[in-house]
Amino acid sequence: MTSAISVDRLEVIFDRFRALKGVSLDVQPGESFGLVGESGSGKSTLLRAIVGLAPVASGGIAVNGKTLGPRRDKAFYREVQMVFQDPYGSLHPRQTVDRLLQEPLAIHGFADSEKRIERALDEVGLGKGFRFRYAHQLSGGQRQRVAIARALILEPSILLLDEPTSALDASVQAEVLNLLEEVRRRRKLTFLMVSHDLAIITHMCERLMVMQNGGTVENLAASDLVERRVTKDYTRNLLRASDGFVRV
Amino acid sequence: MSALLDVEDLRVTFPTRVGLVEAVRGVSFSLGRERLGIVGESGSGKSQTGRAIMGLTPPQARISAKTLSFDGIDLLAASPRERRALRGNRIAMILQDPKYSLDPVMSIGRQIVETLRTHEKVSKAEARERALAMLEAVQIRDPKRVFDLHPHEVSGGMGQRAMIAMMLIAGPEMMIADEPTSALDVTVQLEVLGILDRLVSQRGMGLIFISHDLRLVSSFCDRVLVMYAGKVVEQLKASELSQAQHPYTRGLLNCMPRIDADRHPLPVLDRKPEWAA
């Protein structure tokens, strides 16, 4: 079976800073894969390199068996879409939700945009009433739903999620995570999800990779974390940190 | 034990185009030399409560309270000058993100020295010595080097330690920490909390810890106030969090994903209008 995403010894260099130092991973179709690490570990850079937003110095990326060149074509974005961390920064402030969702449809030449927009809004749990609102009229959770709708409207098979809930309140986070799980189940999507929160990754993903300083620390299954079967000190520290503060 | 801080029926009202908005609607509590957590989601009024005590509410807002007193001083009747003398000296506040709350064009050392010399008459040399000692107390390994660095040259964790050093140098009796670790990585978070914990208990300060993270707060504080829509909906001992009664508190506790619990879908909060009543 060809992998949905296959990354081979990927190096990303900004000026002279090596942000990714030869990272490899393999995500199977329909799988949900997590990337965990602290800020500066390169987890977001890996996602950005896949969609063509980071300068790849060497190494290879293949999506659905097809090796990617330096430029991404339209067909690529039909398959792969991304949801960004900050719902306040990723929606155009002067476009209505309708206009925002129209954009990808126009780029890819879809004729039945009317129906698709209605369906996309419905799918993320926003009614028709939200269609002609602006981003500033929406709450953080509603904005992130619009961002998810925009990613889903092209019916991609792979969704890259960069900390999709870290800017949201805990109760809203639960709603958005539930929504993501539901669309994944319904559409048999492949997820590659970045988070600094181990609990979210274990909840959402079957397998994960722990990253630090642009490199891989270890590859784990979610069940390994639940049973605390980790081999590296760094991961152990992350696990301990997610248990909360303990007075010494 | 006499209370350090007494708050009774605190209200903070903002005038807006659509009329008056009450951000804090009648909050009452008292604080001794203990750690009190205030938890709530965005818009619950937790930060405005902290800011009102500190005297940092924007000028257009109205504050009213039956009692708002710190160590017998009526904060609402105090002049701006008296408030300034308290701020940074006897009451200190740590803000969320060191990137935005430290002065970007001043070295870290000078900012700490400035705080100290505002409140105490000390020589420059002595102020420098005390600032270096304080940087060491917040476990900065090379205080002499960090003293001369600017905020953009240090990491978030280091910046937050520098802020703690700055806030503690005048020896305050009460500290308000508004999301002190939310902008930090989880591993760094615990280090910073550890430092805060040690210094607060060594110096016997009263601490108000404001956060959206109910579990973090309960692992750090003695007592927790849960706020919703500008009101305290529940007040409980941190150790008795699992016996929380209010559906909002229970909902907040339940909706977080946990490593050792496999729950799909996650329980979500069903907000009831009567909670805000």
Q: Encode pLDDT of B219-267 as tens digits.
A: 899 999 999 999 999 999 998 888 899 999 999 888 888 888 788 888 8
Residue A226 and residue B193: Cβ atoms within 8 Å?
Answer: no
| Two tokens, residue B85 | 């003398």
Residue range B156-170, pLDDT digits in tens: 888 999 999 999 999
In this complex, is the C-beta atom of B214 within 8 Å of any C-beta atom belonging to chain A?
yes
Question: In this structure, which amino acid lies at residue A246?
Answer: V
Q: Provide mean pLDDT across the span B73-101.
A: 91
* ipTM reported for the complex surpasses 0.95: no
Of the candidates B199, B234, B205, B202, which has an alpha carbon nearest to the alpha carbon of residue B218? B234
- Nearest by CB: A174 against B187, B215, B268: B268
The dihedral sign for the CA sequence B60, B65, B70, B76: positive
In this complex, is the C-beta atom of B190 within 8 Å of any C-beta atom belonging to chain A?
yes
Residue range A21-78, pLDDT digits in tens: 999 999 999 999 999 988 889 999 999 999 999 999 999 999 999 999 889 999 999 9
Using pLDDT thresholds of 50, 70 and 90, give the confidence band for residue A169: confident
Q: Where are the beta strands (DSSP E) in A15-79?
A: 17-27, 32-36, 56-63, 66-67
Residue B256 and residue A170: Cβ atoms within 8 Å?
Answer: yes
In this complex, is the C-beta atom of B246 within 8 Å of any C-beta atom belonging to chain A?
no
Reply yes or no on whether the pLDDT at A165 is more than 80.
yes
Contact residues of A toward B, CB < 8 A: 38-39, 140, 169-171, 173-175, 177-178, 181-182, 196-200, 202-204, 225-226, 237-242, 244-248
- Predicted model pTM: 0.88
pLDDT of residue B181: 87
Phi, psi for A114 (deg, rounded to 5): -50, -55
Domains and CATH numbers, chain A: 5-242 (3.40.50.300)
| Two tokens, residue A233 | 């000190």
In this complex, is the C-beta atom of B8 within 8 Å of any C-beta atom belonging to chain A?
no
Q: Are the beta carbons of B241 and B226 closer than 8 angstroms?
A: no
Q: Where are the beta strands (DSSP E) in A97-206?
A: 158-162, 190-195
For residue A202, list chain B residues with Cβ-Cβ distance below 8 A.
257, 259
Residue range A95-127, pLDDT digits in tens: 999 999 999 999 999 989 999 999 999 999 988
Reply yes or no on whether the pLDDT at A247 is more than 80.
no
What torsion do the CA atoms of A240, A241, A247, B1 make, to the nearest 10 degrees? Answer: -150
**CA-based radius of gyration for chain B:** 19
Within 10 A of B176 (CB to CB), how many other CB atoms are there? 28
pLDDT of residue A214: 93
Q: Are the beta carbons of B187 and A38 closer than 8 angstroms?
A: yes
In this complex, is the C-beta atom of B97 within 8 Å of any C-beta atom belonging to chain A?
no
In this complex, is the C-beta atom of B72 within 8 Å of any C-beta atom belonging to chain A?
no
Q: Provide mean pLDDT across the span A145-166.
A: 94
For residue B194, list chain A residues with Cβ-Cβ distance below 8 A.
245, 248
Using pLDDT thresholds of 50, 70 and 90, give the confidence band for residue B124: very high
| Percent of chain A scoring above 70 in pLDDT | 100
Residue A226 and residue B252: Cβ atoms within 8 Å?
Answer: no
Residue B269 and residue A200: Cβ atoms within 8 Å?
Answer: no
pLDDT of residue A248: 64
**DSSP bridge pairs for B236:** B224
Reply yes or no on whether the pLDDT at B187 is more than 90.
no
Nearest CA in chain B to A248: B194
In this complex, is the C-beta atom of B272 within 8 Å of any C-beta atom belonging to chain A?
no
Phi, psi for A242 (deg, rounded to 5): -75, -10
Q: How far is B264 from chain A (nearest CA, A)?
A: 8
**CA-based radius of gyration for chain A:** 18
Interface subset of B 110-169, CB within 8 angstroms of A: 156
pLDDT of residue B56: 92
- Nearest by CB: A241 against B189, B264, B266: B189
Three-class secondary structure assignment of B4-70: CEEEEEEEEEEEECCEEEEEEEEEEEEECCCEEEEECCCCCCHHHHHHHHHCCCCCCCEEECCEEEE
Which uninterrupted H or E stretch holds A212? strand A207-212
Reply yes or no on whether the pLDDT at B186 is more than 90.
no
Question: In this structure, which amino acid lies at residue A99?
Answer: R
Using pLDDT thresholds of 50, 70 and 90, give the confidence band for residue B273: confident
pLDDT of residue B77: 94
Q: How far is A42 from chain B (nearest CA, A)?
A: 14
For residue B188, list chain A residues with Cβ-Cβ distance below 8 A.
38
pLDDT of residue B242: 82
Q: CA-to-CA distance for A25 and A63, rounded, in angstroms?
A: 12
How are strands ordered across the β-sheet holding A190-195? Answer: A80-83, A158-162, A190-195, A32-36, A207-212, A215-221
| Two tokens, residue B19 | 């009329």
Reply yes or no on whether the pLDDT at B1 is more than 70.
no
Strand pairing report for B19-31 and B5-16: antiparallel
Using pLDDT thresholds of 50, 70 and 90, give the confidence band for residue A191: very high
For residue A117, what are the CA distances in angstroms to A21, A114, A131, A160, B156?
A: 40, 6, 8, 21, 41
The dihedral sign for the CA sequence B158, B163, B164, B168: positive
Average pLDDT score, chain A: 92
Interface test with A, best of B44, B179, B186 (most A CBs within 10 A): B186
Write the DSSP assignment of A167-181 as a string of letters: TS-HHHHHHHHHHHH
Residue range A170-190, pLDDT digits in tens: 888 999 999 999 999 999 999
Q: Map tokens 């960090």 to a residue.
A: B146
Using pLDDT thresholds of 50, 70 and 90, give the confidence band for residue A93: very high
Q: How far is B65 from chain A (nearest CA, A)?
A: 29
Residue range B6-45, pLDDT digits in tens: 999 999 999 999 899 999 999 999 999 999 999 998 889 9
Using pLDDT thresholds of 50, 70 and 90, give the confidence band for residue B214: confident
Q: Are the beta carbons of A147 and A90 closer than 8 angstroms?
A: yes
